[in-house]
């Protein structure tokens, strides 16, 4: 039974999550934290790094869940396509945010490193999204309303 008609889902994205020797500690942590708030998870979807599969998974999740937490796929590499896939499903544009790029550059500077060009990709957000600060990595989170 869903409490307050809220159907919550976690979508974990990344081919590594489908390997037998990999433990999805991010989902475990999120389930535990939400549980302490009295929020139950109704679905958990795990999908590999494939644009068609991710797009299909988003469409399915959106059709059945009110709140979807996505984990993974926001990094700078070619297989990090969560943001692009969700933008496609929602028919929204990706918008470059210079302030995000500067935050990423500053993170590298603090470590006396040059920012690789591929990290520029992380400065794009889905149109209308709220940026969620990330103190642990370079990719900001996004809060997106469909």
> Which residues in the chain land under pLDDT 50?
1-2
Enumerate residues 6+ apart whose C-beta is below 8 A from 71: 10, 11, 12, 13, 24, 26, 27, 30
In the chain, residues under CATH classification 3.40.980.10 are 1-72
SS3 126: strand
Residue 4's pLDDT is 64
Residue 73's pLDDT is 86
> Across the chain, which distance is largest between two alpha carbons, in Å?
52
Residue 116's pLDDT is 96
Q: Give the class (CATH, top level) of 1-72.
A: alpha beta
- Give this prediction's pTM: 0.89
Residue 41's pLDDT is 95
């Amino acid at each position: 039974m869903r409490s307050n008609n809220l159907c919550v889902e976690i979508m974990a994205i990344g081919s590594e999550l489908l390997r037998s020797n990999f433990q999805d500690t991010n989902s475990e942590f999120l389930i535990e934290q939400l549980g302490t708030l009295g929020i139950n998870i109704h679905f958990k979807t795990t999908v590999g790094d494939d644009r068609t599969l991710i797009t299909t998974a988003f469409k399915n999740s959106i059709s059945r869940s009110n709140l979807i937490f996505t984990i993974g796929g926001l990094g700078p590499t070619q297989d990090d396509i969560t943001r692009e896939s969700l933008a496609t499903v929602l028919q929204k544009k990706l918008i470059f945010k210079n302030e995000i790029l500067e935050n990423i550059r500053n993170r590298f500077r603090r470590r006396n490193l040059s920012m690789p060009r591929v990290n520029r990709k992380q400065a794009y957000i889905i149109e209308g999204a709220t940026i969620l600060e990330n103190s642990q990595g370079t990719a900001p989170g996004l809060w997106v309303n469909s």
